[in-house]
Amino acid sequence: MVCASPLGSLLPAALLAVVLLLSPCRGSEYEYVGWKPDGYNGGGGGRSYGKPPQCVDIPEDLRLCYNVGYTQMLLPNLLDHETLAEVKQQAGSWVPLVYKNCHPGTQVFLCSLFAPVCMDRPVYPCRWLCEAVRDGCTPIMESFGFPWPDMLTCDRFPAGDVCIAMTAPNATQATHPTGFSQVCPPCDNEMKTDAILEHMCASEFAFKTKIKEVTQENADRKVVLQKRKKSVKAGNLKKKDLKKLVLYLKNGADCPCQQLDNLTSHYLIMGRKVDKQYLLTGIHKWDKSSKEFKMAIKKLKTHQCPSFENVFK
């Protein structure tokens, strides 16, 4: 017998193929606390909430999942976040990854955990969906210096029928929408205010400068900058470090980056330190004639960034 949730109709079939082989329904009895799919030990020994789960509206400012295809979510969610404030703070770190189109199931996978649909029981993403998203998106995450986090280790999720899917289980390769250009991730930037701010948030520092030279070093590209730089976001960089700063485009030896082909323009260059290297995490042409660019620079002073340190560990 398949238990149909009263909220199940909110899930569009074209977006989520949710296979639910559950035990008979028990009216208002939730059967949520303590339930977990086989092989999942999330949160260090299983789930145990201090407050009962409830259905709440997905707020507009939960950008990761507001348009995912349903309007209400379970709280606490499947990542042990008990308040909407915590959900929004943690989920915000993942919005840029969804925009990178590294796998078509990225948003579905993430939202099944951050903003799980209201069902009679919590339903986790399928293990193969996690693996597909991980394999498609990890190279992009690594180019920004972020690893695939432990909280999303794929063997924690069910391999059987009780899970959230999107496409056929054999569709494990990363795919891109028509017209998607597989340029180096830090170079794949729209001149949009939100996109610029999101790249800025994923970076520790940013400044205006020109590029002196670009060379290949193993699988990376080494980017040597002009000495003269105008700081936009100082981060922890000291003046002496800024003068001799060299950035690396991680795994960027073979992917195209149009910005690095033009050494005459000024650029807004962003980066962060990973181990002993400084990585190039974003590069935008410094174009004050662009209203979007001017707005991004203006908003930067007051823009509240999500905390990546709490997510990518």
Give domain 8-165's CATH superfamily.
Frizzled cysteine-rich domain (1.10.2000.10)
Distance, C-alpha 253 to centroid of its chain: 24
CA distance 305 to 155: 30
Tokens of 160: 């059987």
In this prediction, what percent of the chain has a pLDDT beyond 90? 33
**Sequence ranges of the domains in the chain:** 8-165, 185-301
At 307, the pLDDT band (50, 70, 90 cuts) reads low
d(CA 143, CA 100): 12
- Same topology, domains 8-165 and 185-301? Answer is no
- The tokens for 108 are 């579905």
Residues 92-150 have pLDDT tens digits of 888 888 878 889 999 999 999 999 999 888 899 999 999 999 999 998 888 888 889 99
CATH architecture of 185-301: Beta Barrel (2.40)
Residues paired with residue 217 on neighbouring β-strands, in sequence order: 220
Residue 101 Rama label (left phi>0; alpha psi -120 to 50; beta)? left
pLDDT at 244: 82
Q: Which two tokens stand for residue 157?
A: 């999720």
Lowest mean pLDDT among 76-80, 291-295, 308-312: 308-312
| 310 Cβ contact partners less than 8 Å away, ≥ 6 residues apart | 89, 90, 93
